[in-house]
Amino acid sequence: MHPHRAWAEIDLDAFAGNLREIRRRVGRRRIFLVVKADAYGHGAVPLVHHALRCGVDAFGVGDSHEALELREAGVRAPILVLGTIVEGEERAIVEHGIEVGIHAADRVRSLRKTAAAARREVGVHLNLDTGMGRLGVFPERARTVLEEIRRSKALRLAGIMTHLSSRQGWRDPFTAEQVERFERFLDLATLLGVRRASVHLANSAAIFTGLPDLHDAVRPGIAAYGVLPRRLSEGTKLRPVLSLRTQIVFLKDVPAGTSVGYDRTFVTVRPTRIATIPLGYHDGLPWNLGNRGEALVRGARVPIVGAVSMDYATLGVGGIPGVRVGDVVTLIGRDGGEEIAAEEVAGRAGTIAYEIVCGIGRRVRRVLVGGGKPAVAPGRRVPPLLVGR
């Protein structure tokens, strides 16, 4: 039997290959690899260290907690909080040299005050809202914020950025509208004398659909993990980095008319064999895959039968000869000639592949393979945010 109840194999060689493919497409531009949401569920700390060995320049995270986690793990490369920070987090950000996306003038003032008190300089990236409608400064108001940043001796304008809204990248006409709004502000910034800030807007979809101007920096995320939708990644060398596996912990031969799982959503119509696996919706197996999803056992597809519960799910394995307790079960990944991709799981669950990989829970061990000697991803201690200190 495998030593873990459930595990996600993280293929460092596939990860390195994906980074090479991204580098081939973006040339010598600076890469802010996006590792938010624990590197999209893959395990941020070990992947960041491997990315540094692969030549990645900097990293983007979702919040200050993720940034501090990387600093605690010894990452000294530039880290940018792409999302917003909230009141009380400024001091930790300043003390650990973390760069921040700026979405409003009041954040400029609070960061300036904190940085000045600590006698430190903070790198900030002015985030323009060109059409995402979520975070960011409208371009027509951004000049005021830009000038306030430049007046402060405690703040350094490290970048100007925007967030493209379409998952179709350059194939969506609205992306061109966003780019035009962004370019108009860049022209203004140039007239105001801005010369040294990085300029970045290209995410994975933009990079792989041929955005004409990638400027001097890019922010790939999901493509690095090989989960970019196939319609965008056809013809590339991207490979999935994550395989989600568990093992059979119990087998039961049942007669016809036996109900399986909560609410009797599955009742056998003939004698069969039911396998129980120790992985449920708390671990990232979507609840609505009950009676809808599939898994791989001994290189063959088998149905998920009955409702997925918090800790367990059940499989119909009556057609698999020789099946036994301890057999490996693959929910995402390849087994023999069969493969289940995260995008297929997402389609069956009625969601997107991003949610599938990001939802893989803490009980699922991340096991690193390739890139040298296989190892289990180390546990991580998360530092405090220094609130109120």
- List pLDDT tens digits, range 96-122: 999 999 998 889 999 999 999 999 999
Q: pLDDT grade, residue 2 (50/70/90)?
A: confident
- Averaged confidence pLDDT in the chain: 93
Which amino acid, residue 279?
L
Please check the confidence at residue 63 and state whether its pLDDT lies above 80: yes
Supply the pLDDT for residue 373: 53
Pairwise pLDDT comparison (375 vs 163), residue with the higher score: 163
Domain boundaries, the chain: 12-223, 242-376
Rg (CA), the chain: 24
Query: Scanning the structure block, which residue is given the tokens 């409208």?
Result: 138
Q: pLDDT grade, residue 380 (50/70/90)?
A: very low
What CATH number belongs to 12-223? 3.20.20.10
Supply the pLDDT for residue 386: 34
Q: Residue 82 corresponds to which tokens in the numbers above?
A: 């792409």
Supply the pLDDT for residue 175: 97
Please check the confidence at residue 21 and state whether its pLDDT lies above 80: yes
| Phi, psi (deg, nearest 5) at residue 199 | -120, 125
Q: Which CATH class is domain 242-376?
A: mainly beta
Q: What predicted TM-score, i.e. pTM, was given to this entire model?
A: 0.92
Supply the pLDDT for residue 233: 77
Enumerate the active-site residues.
Answer: 36, 262
Of 90-94, 145-149, 233-237, 311-315, the range with the lowest mean pLDDT is 233-237
Please check the confidence at residue 387 and state whether its pLDDT lies above 50: no
- d(CA 348, CA 302) in angstroms, rounded, equals 14
Percent of the chain with pLDDT over 90: 88
Supply the pLDDT for residue 126: 97
Element (H, E) at 141: helix 139-151
- d(CA 342, CA 218) in angstroms, rounded, equals 25
Of 51-55, 88-92, 206-210, 371-375, the range with the lowest mean pLDDT is 371-375
CA distances from 341 to 78, 230, 283, 333 (A): 32, 10, 17, 6
